[in-house]
Copies of this chain bind each other. A is one copy, B any other.
């Protein structure tokens, strides 16, 4: 009976998508996970393992035999293996590497030696290589014979005896060509490629620009050493977008998903910018103490401090976000600075003017007198303009200093605008109220 149950489960599992099986396994206890994992046909098991989250991969390999671990690690894609080995403790990695065949071990070690976040680190060497002189028929024959262990067969790479990249040929063109056509005559002999040291974000950008499923990666001597495929690009894009979101909120990039990160680690990642901001913000105390005479004379001025600096900060966050995102997707470059300043000045005056009317009305309703209302009006226009300009300029400065513009986070811009906004507010107050 139990046996029948298992064979049914086996059949059921085999019809499912690897991503769905992986998700299902992740919900189970370790014992059950291992039980179901062992029901999977070998090939599917490897595929499922490849798409599991790395902490779940780790849980699984802790509960199966060393022999099984060896088989999984040996057969999984080289790029997925790099990711796993990256995350595991050094001791486990060492143990795992010893179980690999000498060939795979050498490969795994080589991939782990590329810098984190580089093309070398995310690529896989499992590509199909062809020679210039082959005919289309021979090429398809070679593809058929080596396809099983390759990441993709749809894009093939033409290399010479020294493994230099000479061209790229699509399977589509091989199939459409006459069987005697030489590969050389249908290949793209000026293919787009990246280097092992190219940043993964740049790899994704190039692939997206040229609509490539697969891109070749060459080493310093222009030898083809690997490929990056489109599924890697999707992962890279998601990872990089998350990093940008975090940076722009003043959080240092967190590697794992929210619920998996240790609370202390998360606090540490958030702490730095909170400290930078509170130290910068400390200047507002100096500013306010400096104007304490004015405050004591016209207490009503304090009523609008949060409204004023809040509005300036919001405008600044908006401008900075437009700027940073524009730079990330390539719409904005440094040479546009003139146009940008013009636009942000114009929209600062427009938005500031409209919001100032609301500020004026608010002050009148609160019965603080016409003079205070006028001070607030001018101050709102000024801080919105300041917010816009700070939001526009600071990310450009970061880029000019070769930093990620996203480092000019909303919180930081808000803080800067707070300090200068208050100075402007009280200077206007002094002039108008003659205190």
Q: B238 contacts A329, CB within 8 Å?
A: yes
Q: A172 contacts B147, CB within 8 Å?
A: yes
**Residue A405 is within 8 A (CB to CB) of chain B in the complex:** no
Q: Which chain B residue shows the least CB distance to A276?
A: B314
Among B210, B343, B351, the residue within 8 A (CB) of A271 is: B351
**Residue A123 is within 8 A (CB to CB) of chain B in the complex:** no
Chain A 217-251 interface residues, beta-carbon cutoff 8 Å to B? 230-231, 233-234, 237-238, 241-242, 244-246, 248-251
**Residue A144 is within 8 A (CB to CB) of chain B in the complex:** yes
Q: How far is the CA of A320 from the CA of B275 in the complex (A)?
A: 18
Best-surrounded residue of A208, A310, A343 (most CB of chain B within 10 A) = A310
Q: A358 contacts B410, CB within 8 Å?
A: no
Q: How far is the CA of A278 from the CA of B15 in the complex (A)?
A: 56
**Residue A377 is within 8 A (CB to CB) of chain B in the complex:** no
- Interface segment among A68-76, A86-94, A287-295, A427-435: the answer is A287-295
Best-surrounded residue of A231, A234, A254, A306 (most CB of chain B within 10 A) = A306
Residues of B within 8 A of A52 (CB): none
With known contacts A147-B176, A346-B263, A314–B355 Cβ distance under 8 A: no
**Chain A, interface SS category:** helix
Interface residues of A, CB < 8 Å — how many?
111
Q: A318 contacts B230, CB within 8 Å?
A: no
Residues of B within 8 A of A350 (CB): 263-264, 267
Q: A245 contacts B343, CB within 8 Å?
A: no
Q: A251 contacts B318, CB within 8 Å?
A: yes
- Interface segment among A55-63, A97-105, A195-203, A331-339: the answer is A331-339
Among B273, B310, B332, the residue within 8 A (CB) of A258 is: B332
Residues of B within 8 A of A175 (CB): 140, 143-144, 147, 153, 171
Q: How far is the CA of A206 from the CA of B26 in the complex (A)?
A: 19
Query: A257 to chain B: closest CB distance in Å?
Result: 4
Query: A196 to chain B: closest CB distance in Å?
Result: 22
Q: What are 18 A-B contacts defined by CB distance under 8 Å?
A: A19-B209, A19-B210, A208-B238, A211-B234, A237-B237, A245-B321, A246-B321, A249-B318, A249-B321, A258-B332, A259-B343, A266-B343, A275-B354, A277-B311, A278-B359, A285-B303, A302-B305, A306-B309
**Apart from the given pairs A19-B210, A302-B305, 12 other A-B contacts in the complex at a CB distance below 8 Å:** A237-B241, A238-B329, A246-B322, A246-B325, A257-B332, A259-B343, A270-B318, A273-B314, A274-B315, A277-B310, A281-B310, A317-B411
